[in-house]
């Protein structure tokens, strides 16, 4: 048995993973002496700025979209059966494909004992051009382009992810011409344009999105 994949009490839900990951990121930067702050999006703003939380650090913007970990039913808990589902909400996947600064966060554990190590047990991943809503950690018998996320070229562990942020390969750098306010305004405009073909019920398609703001 792989202990990290054994649920305790129940399988964690997405908002639990979100909280664990945010605490891990905050602790990481606190230990480095880098300013960071997390704040929630007001319900009155959420209809136009579709996020649940912001993670703000001086310098760059990255979006993080959490998805919970799943283990196939009637199978032993091993990494070939670890997967993530991107079907819902409808339209979210294609929107993230078009926003280079947004990454999916894919936890690789279901055991709550690992919650304080969520940052180390998470994959930061962007979809390629192919459209498929089922991701597998390592299951080559599944016939889709995302059946081996563990070694996918767009899948990064936290250390490498942050190194690419420092190298200016990830994120949107703010400047006098591109302020945080202008970035959020432009993002809202872009999202509204993408959502014109989606009905009213599906307008909250980036639920669970975080922002990281870094100064390198």
Please write down the HEC assignment for all residues of 19-42.
HHHHHHHHHHHHHHCCCCEEEECC
Whether 83 contacts 72, CB under 8 Å: yes
Nearest CA to 61 among 208, 175, 203, 176? 175
Does any domain span residue 216? Answer: no
Question: Residue 49: its pLDDT value, please?
Answer: 44
**Span 106-154, pLDDT tens digits:** 999 999 999 999 999 999 999 989 999 999 999 888 778 999 999 899 9
Does any domain span residue 62? Answer: yes
Task: Provide the domain limits for residue 72.
Answer: 3-177+189-197
pLDDT category of residue 196 using cuts at 50, 70 and 90:
low
Does any domain span residue 72? Answer: yes
Does any domain span residue 161? Answer: yes
Domain count, the chain: 1
Does any domain span residue 213? Answer: no
Does any domain span residue 203? Answer: no
Does any domain span residue 144? Answer: yes
pLDDT category of residue 212 using cuts at 50, 70 and 90:
low
Does any domain span residue 52? Answer: yes
- Torsion sign (Cα): 173, 176, 178, 184: positive
């Amino acid at each position: 048995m792989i202990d990290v994949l054994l649920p305790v009490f129940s399988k964690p839900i997405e908002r639990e993973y979100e909280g664990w990951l945010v605490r891990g990121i905050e602790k990481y930067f606190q230990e480095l002496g880098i300013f960071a702050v997390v704040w929630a999006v007001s319900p009155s703003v959420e209809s136009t700025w579709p996020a649940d939380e912001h993670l703000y650090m001086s310098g760059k913007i990255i979006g993080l979209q959490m998805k919970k970990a799943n283990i196939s039913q009637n199978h032993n808990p091993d990494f070939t059966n670890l997967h993530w589902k991107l079907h819902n909400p409808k339209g979210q996947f294609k929107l993230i494909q078009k926003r280079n600064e947004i990454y999916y966060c894919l936890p690789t554990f279901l055991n709550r004992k690992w919650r304080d190590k969520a940052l180390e047990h998470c994959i930061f991943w962007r979809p390629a051009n192919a459209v498929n809503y089922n991701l597998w950690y390592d299951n080559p018998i599944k016939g889709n382009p995302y059946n081996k996320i563990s070694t996918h070229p767009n899948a990064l562990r936290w250390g490498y992810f942050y190194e690419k942020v420092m190298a200016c390969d990830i994120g949107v750098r703010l400047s006098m011409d591109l302020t945080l306010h202008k970035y959020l305004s432009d993002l809202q405009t872009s999202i509204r344009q993408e959502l014109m073909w989606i009905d009213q019920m599906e307008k909250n398609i980036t639920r669970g999105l975080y922002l990281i703001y870094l100064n390198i």
